[in-house]
Amino acid sequence: MLRKYLFIIFILISGSCWAVDPFEDFHEYGQLSDEEIHDLHKGEMLYGDTEFGFILSRGNINSTSFKLKGNLYQDFEKWRNQFKIDTLYKRDENDDTGDSDVTANRVFVSAQGNYKVGVKNSSFFIYGDYEEDQFSGLKFKSTIATGYGARVYQGTKNKVDIDIGPGLYRSVADEDSTVSDSEENKTGYLLRVAMQWERLVSKRTRFNQDVSIEQSLSGLNSRLKSETALISQVIGAVSLKFAYMYRYNSKPEDDKLKFDSELSATLVYSF
């Protein structure tokens, strides 16, 4: 299934030579670049988008899943700020007991402030995030980092932005975790690298690739997060988003797997 998904994305990205736009019937999308969108909303207190997903399954499999994401921006003369929230909640019915059990419960929030310098699309940034995941073996984990960001490529259809800088990582083990007391609280230095690649597939569709890497400099766990997304606006301010999320943790707690992935189809509302 994953290979099929990646193959479809490859075809779409490579399809700029198609004579007919396969998304011609969709509402126009992607005609404004991110910079033009920010300029349009310059000085506003908040603007951005929210993303919703809800799945209710009944029959052979009984489960309920809910996903909520949000991207909020502020763009002022010297500062551009971004706030993110990403939540996932899922309940599955236990066939043995008949009870409904929570199988996923995660909340992630982050904030980044970029101070604009004289060079276009360049800035100094400060970044912080906080995550609670009921099934990670941790009570919470958080990161704070600062550094320099710049656009390393600008083309007709592609643009690539990179942030890089040092930071601190902190985690606190869950009360039910099996780790020793000496490993319950962890704090260490890290190097954070984040990349945002945006490609205009057609006038109606956009491809986004976001990757963040936090390489530990203190012998603690290193983390990677990647989201590959294809977005097409359907009508008005509503878009349809297909995304593949991949997370990697080099030293997971409680013998958890080092990676997990998530394939989703959600509606996005922009304001």
pLDDT attached to residue 150: 94
How is residue 222 annotated by DSSP?
Answer: -
Q: 3-state class of 73 per DSSP?
A: strand
Report the C-alpha gap between 122 and 174 in whole angstroms.
39
How wide is the angle at C-alpha 77 spanned by C-alphas 74 and 78, nearest 5°?
90
pLDDT attached to residue 5: 45
Max Cα distance, the chain (Å): 64
260-to-3, 49, 252 alpha-carbon distances in Å: 16, 25, 11
Q: Which residues are 262's β-sheet partners?
A: 245
pLDDT attached to residue 43: 64
| pLDDT tens digits in sequence order for the chain, 271 residues long | 444 444 444 444 444 333 333 333 333 334 455 666 666 666 667 888 899 888 776 665 677 888 999 999 988 888 989 999 999 898 887 766 667 788 889 999 999 999 999 788 899 999 999 999 888 888 899 999 999 999 999 888 899 999 999 999 999 987 766 555 555 788 999 999 999 999 988 877 899 999 999 999 999 989 999 999 999 988 878 899 999 999 999 988 767 788 888 888 899 988 8
On whether the CB atoms of residues 74 and 81 are closer than 8 A, the answer is yes
Question: In 29-76, which ranges are continuous DSSP H helix?
Answer: 34-40
Residue from 226, 214, 210 nearest 171 by CA: 214
pLDDT attached to residue 185: 87
On whether the CB atoms of residues 107 and 172 are closer than 8 A, the answer is no
